[in-house]
Amino acid sequence: MSSQKVYIDHLLLQFSQEQFDYVPKWISDHFTVIDGGVHTGGWSRNKLIVFKDGTYLELYNWITKPEDWRKRLPGDFALTALDPISAEASRERIVDALASEPGDGGIGVTYLPPQGGGRKNAEGVDIRWEIVKAGYTHGESTPRDEFFPRGRTDAPFFCHDLTPRRRRVTFDLPSVTQHPSGATGIDRIEVLVPRGKFRAYTDLYTSIVGAAPQEDEGRAAFKLSAPGIPNLSGSLYIRPAETEADEQFLQEKGVGISSLLLRSEIGESFSFPIAGYLQ
């Protein structure tokens, strides 16, 4: 298995125009929200909640939603690798892993060549990156279509900086990273999968991450580095549906992120209710 470090990058949450223009009070009361800017092409814009550990939440809004927006949307959460590892190098590593044991677990996932992206921030500075998106096919273990009511986002995408990372993620600015809630970073991302698909998705994520997880009580936990603080890590959990609430979530939102836990410097880690923003 590769020794290359994979980092948590960010979570992408979709906001309506009203939510974006007037961020819900429960968010503004607990988090410092900054303007991110408008993406290249003018299709979309974002606001950011940036944490000290170098991770962030992206509040994403379509200015003009394209007809093929399901294909354009990169996914619900991003991982990354830092310089000098390029987007193409990350893709080559993952593709090689998917072609070896344990492969993609029969889920039907590959990774596509890098695509350029960018935005102009609130100060007018150009920020550029490359995204490596998952490509999907039907495999022997692919869940039924009913488990993807909003399209497939059951594998993360990778976001690699072309301009300096601190330009895209200003985690070195206390005025940006100090939050009333004391939030300092992403502690845990949980991915919910259908009953009977736990092993297949654990194999898939082992290839994507490049390291084996710790398994306990039917869950797989992958330790991923934080990009802004050396030796600090968060966890990516793979968990099979266990309750009626889990089954309902899969029917409404599909296989993918089901919960997010944030680290806090003033108390225990706490949950960010992301379900409503997974559209």
Residue 256 makes CB contacts below 8 A (sequence gap 6+) with: 76, 153, 154, 191, 192, 278
Whether 150 is in a domain gets the answer yes
Query: Whose CA is closest to 263, among 236, 238, 234?
Result: 234
Kindly tell me the number of DSSP H helices and DSSP E strands found in the chain. Answer: 8, 16
Look up the CATH number of the domain holding residue 190: 3.10.180.10
Which tens digits make up the pLDDT trace of 241-257?
Answer: 999 999 999 999 999 99
Q: What is the pLDDT of residue 234?
A: 92
Q: What is the pLDDT of residue 205?
A: 98
Whether 245 is in a domain gets the answer yes
Whether 73 is in a domain gets the answer yes
260, 276 in Cβ contact below 8 A? no
DSSP-derived secondary structure letter, 162: S
Rounded to 5 degrees, φ, ψ at 90 are -65, -45
Q: What is the pLDDT of residue 1?
A: 46
50, 56 in Cβ contact below 8 A? yes
Q: How far apart are CA 269 and CA 259, in angstroms?
A: 13
DSSP string over 93-152: HHHHHHTSTTTTTTS-EEEPPPEEEEEE-TTS-EEEEEEE-EEE---TTPPPGGG-TT--
Whether 109 is in a domain gets the answer yes
Number of structural domains the chain divides into: 1
Low-confidence ranges of the chain (pLDDT < 70): 1-4
Q: What is the pLDDT of residue 4?
A: 58
Whether 277 is in a domain gets the answer no
Count of residues in the chain? 279
Q: What is the pLDDT of residue 276?
A: 87
Query: Whose CA is closest to 227, among 180, 158, 175, 279?
Result: 158
Whether 1 is in a domain gets the answer no
Residue in the block written with tokens 């993952």: 94
Whether 279 is in a domain gets the answer no
Whether 278 is in a domain gets the answer no
Q: What is the pLDDT of residue 127?
A: 96
Q: What is the pLDDT of residue 170?
A: 94
Domain of 67, in residue numbers: 6-272
